[in-house]
């Protein structure tokens, strides 16, 4: 338990004990700074603490989605599956926490509610729900991109007399679905991962689907001993290769148009060529066409190909039809599943297509749609997050002149390089808006950001600087660069609604929140601007 109290004046407060915050605590402490980490949960893990629903699993390889900064940790940790589950990721982060002796500087069960910049003293005053107030020169917000759960925006949710569960705050002790009539609302990654497992246990499962999912088999498997040993012997090589990729991942992960040869075009491909691609690439075939990401007609052809694959698994033609998305492929985040479509062939599973019968309200007994009433013992909401900005806008953050970050971002969520916003000196974000964050290997992304932040703080200490913030012109210039990468693409098309655009949150301004140019281009930009003399940053 940390001895640091509200009386201390700290060098830095880190918010959040997920991948980003734990590394920030380690690295800043290693650089000699006096750091305290405040964490809402009673344990470490961040997103991997809270999302403990059945089936929660990372959708890239654990050997890639893990810290690279310590070879000791790489050598001492064994992954049991190639794509680890939530419990294994949480165990990993606990192992790292203990191995690096981080726990003594973490205050658990402490939710940061407000942070105010005191211009005269040049420090942040950080308030927690415990009633404590901490003072620090710097705040490092490692608050996560998918960590502000959205309450289901459906009339009558509180009226339900059975059990209400939310995937993003699932009961830590688990939940026994056996013998229960279950509803799952939402078919994003969380719903798609949970549905096959819930279906195996529940007496009946109704899946309430508003948008059908573009999902493909994750291809997870146990990690063999020999395989793990071989990886341990060549980690430096793996990390080097990862650093050269567009997404920071080699296995699975987002397929991007950059990976696809420009002559791979579905609109001009012969039926034989398409058949061959399906035979070779399986469920990834619809994603393998260059024109699908630049030409709406080609995108429609790729969606039709995806529909053929769905119809090949799902026996009931009406159900299969409902499971085919009606929005562009490449718009929402791709999903990786384990037995999702086959689940709809089970006798105890029913798909409720909300495009045909929207939910009217939740009643004490269940869910009422425009077409009928359904009775349940438990409703599971997998309804997503206020992504990228939500964790920060839920804290009352006030910068210079008492300006609220929430108000500023309602107008336009901007951060220079995704690291800092003008008017909020010494407030750093790990994976803030305008950085690649969720578009690349998130662990690699947080390591990169923390390194920049630590270097910046060391630079300031050496040069007797007390505050840093981005120049407003530099911030606007960066935001324009981020926008230009999505303007005119499928990701920002009128028929695309995604959490990347904030369109899943009522009242959130539609704006693409991440840098989609890939990790190599992003790192190059950081090297030019940050390592090249902190261009665009103003020091005092």
β-bridge pairing 133-141 and 9-15:
parallel
Residue from 96, 142, 148, 185 binding ligand NA7 (CB under 6 A): 185
Interaction of residue 249 with ligand NA7, rule CB under 6 A: no
Distance CA 195, CA 380 (A): 10
SS3 84: coil
Residue closer to ligand NA7, measured from CB, 80 or 326: 326
Residue closer to ligand NA7, measured from CB, 116 or 394: 394
SS3 34: coil
Residue closer to ligand NA7, measured from CB, 327 or 537: 327
Interaction of residue 436 with ligand NA7, rule CB under 6 A: no
Smallest distance from ligand NA7 to CB 244, Å: 23
Residue closer to ligand NA7, measured from CB, 2 or 497: 497
SS3 13: strand
Interaction of residue 130 with ligand NA7, rule CB under 6 A: no
Residue closer to ligand NA7, measured from CB, 74 or 190: 190
Interaction of residue 188 with ligand NA7, rule CB under 6 A: yes
Distance CA 497, CA 46 (A): 26
Positive or negative CA dihedral for 56, 512, 286, 244? negative
Specify burial of residue 101 (Cβ count, 10 A radius: 0-12, 13-18, 19+).
exposed
- In what helix (H) or strand (E) does residue 312 lie, and over which residues does it extend? helix 296-313
Residue closer to ligand NA7, measured from CB, 38 or 492: 492
Q: List the structure tokens of 523.
A: 């790192």
Interaction of residue 86 with ligand NA7, rule CB under 6 A: no
Identify residues 96-125 at the interface with ligand NA7 (CB under 6 A): none
Identify residues 504-533 at the interface with ligand NA7 (CB under 6 A): 504
Q: How far is CA 69 from CA 64, 147, 235, 443, in A?
A: 12, 24, 11, 11
Q: What end-to-end distance do the CA atoms of the chain give, in Å?
A: 35
Smallest distance from ligand NA7 to CB 498, Å: 8
Residue closer to ligand NA7, measured from CB, 117 or 208: 208
Residue from 125, 187, 256, 441 binding ligand NA7 (CB under 6 A): 187
Question: How are the residues of the chain apportioned to helix, strand and coil, as percentages rounded to the nearest 5?
Answer: 35, 20, 45
Interaction of residue 325 with ligand NA7, rule CB under 6 A: no
Residue from 204, 211, 249, 421 binding ligand NA7 (CB under 6 A): 211
Stretch of 73-81, 203-211, 254-262, 475-483 lying at the interface with ligand NA7 (CB under 6 A): 203-211
Half-sphere exposure of 237 (CA within 13 A, CB side): 5
Interaction of residue 328 with ligand NA7, rule CB under 6 A: no
Smallest distance from ligand NA7 to CB 153, Å: 5
Do 363 and 156 touch, CB atoms closer than 8 A? Answer: yes
Identify residues 377-416 at the interface with ligand NA7 (CB under 6 A): 382-385
Distance CA 258, CA 127 (A): 44
**Interhelix angle for 271-281 vs 296-313, to 10°?**
60
Interaction of residue 147 with ligand NA7, rule CB under 6 A: no
Residue closer to ligand NA7, measured from CB, 382 or 474: 382
Q: By the criterion CB under 6 A, which residues form the site for ligand NA7? A: 146, 152-154, 185-191, 208, 210-211, 333, 354, 359, 382-385, 499, 504
């Amino acid at each position: 338990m940390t001895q640091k109290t509200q009386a201390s004046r700290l060098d830095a407060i880190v918010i959040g004990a997920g991948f980003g915050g734990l590394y920030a605590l380690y690295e800043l402490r290693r650089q000699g700074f006096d750091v305290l980490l405040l964490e809402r949960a009673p344990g470490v893990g961040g997103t991997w603490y809270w999302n403990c629903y059945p089936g929660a699993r990372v959708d890239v390889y654990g050997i890639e989605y893990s810290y690279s900064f310590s070879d000791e940790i790489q050598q001492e940790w064994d992954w049991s599956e190639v794509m680890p589950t939530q419990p294994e990721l949480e165990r990993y982060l606990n192992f790292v926490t203990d191995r690096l002796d981080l726990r003594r500087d973490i205050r658990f069960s402490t939710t940061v509610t407000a942070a105010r910049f005191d211009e005269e003293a040049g420090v942040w005053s950080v308030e927690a729900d415990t009633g404590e107030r901490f003072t620090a020169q710097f705040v490092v917000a490692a608050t996560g991109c998918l960590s502000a759960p959205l309450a289901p925006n459906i009339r009558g949710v509180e009226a339900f007399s059975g059990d209400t569960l939310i995937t993003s705050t699932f009961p830590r002790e688990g939940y026994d679905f056996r013998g229960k009539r279950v509803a799952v609302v939402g078919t994003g990654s969380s719903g798609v991962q949970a549905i096959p497992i819930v279906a195996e246990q529940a007496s009946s499962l109704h899946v309430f689907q508003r948008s059908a999912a573009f999902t493909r088999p994750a291809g997870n498997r146990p990690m063999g001993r020999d395989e793990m040993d071989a990886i341990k012997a060549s980690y430096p090589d793996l990390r080097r290769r990862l650093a050269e990729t567009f997404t920071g991942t080699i296995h699975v992960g987002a397929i991007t148009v950059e990976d696809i040869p420009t002559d791979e075009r579905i609109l001009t491909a012969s039926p034989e060529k398409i058949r061959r691609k399906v035979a070779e690439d399986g469920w990834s075939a619809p994603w393998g066409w260059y024109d699908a990401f630049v030409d709406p007609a080609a995108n429609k052809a790729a969606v039709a190909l995806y529909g053929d694959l769905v119809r090949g698994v799902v026996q009931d033609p009406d159900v299969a039809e409902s499971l085919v998305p009606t929005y562009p492929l490449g718009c929402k985040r791709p999903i990786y599943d384990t037995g999702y479509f086959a689940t709809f062939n089970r006798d105890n599973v029913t798909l409720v297509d909300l495009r045909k019968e929207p939910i009217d309200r939740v009643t004490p007994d269940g869910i009422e749609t425009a077409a009928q009433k359904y009775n349940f013992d438990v409703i599971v909401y997998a309804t997503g997050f206020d992504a990228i900005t939500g964790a920060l806008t839920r804290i009352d953050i006030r910068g210079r002149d008492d300006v609220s970050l929430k108000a500023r971002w309602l107008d336009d969520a901007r951060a220079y390089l995704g690291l800092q916003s003008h008017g909020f000196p010494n407030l750093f974000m790990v994976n803030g808006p305008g950085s690649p964050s969720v578009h690349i290997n998130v662990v690699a992304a947080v390591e990169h950001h923390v390194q920049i932040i630590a270097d910046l703080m060391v630079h300031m200490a050496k040069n007797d600087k007390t505050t840093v913030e981005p120049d407003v012109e530099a911030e606007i210039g960066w935001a324009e660069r981020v926008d230009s990468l999505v303007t005119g693409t499928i990701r920002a098309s009128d028929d695309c609604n995604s959490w990347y655009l904030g369109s899943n949150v009522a009242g959130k301004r539609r704006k693409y929140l991440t840098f989609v140019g890939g990790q190599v281009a992003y790192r190059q930009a950081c090297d030019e601007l940050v390592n090249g003399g902190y261009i665009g940053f103003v020091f005092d």
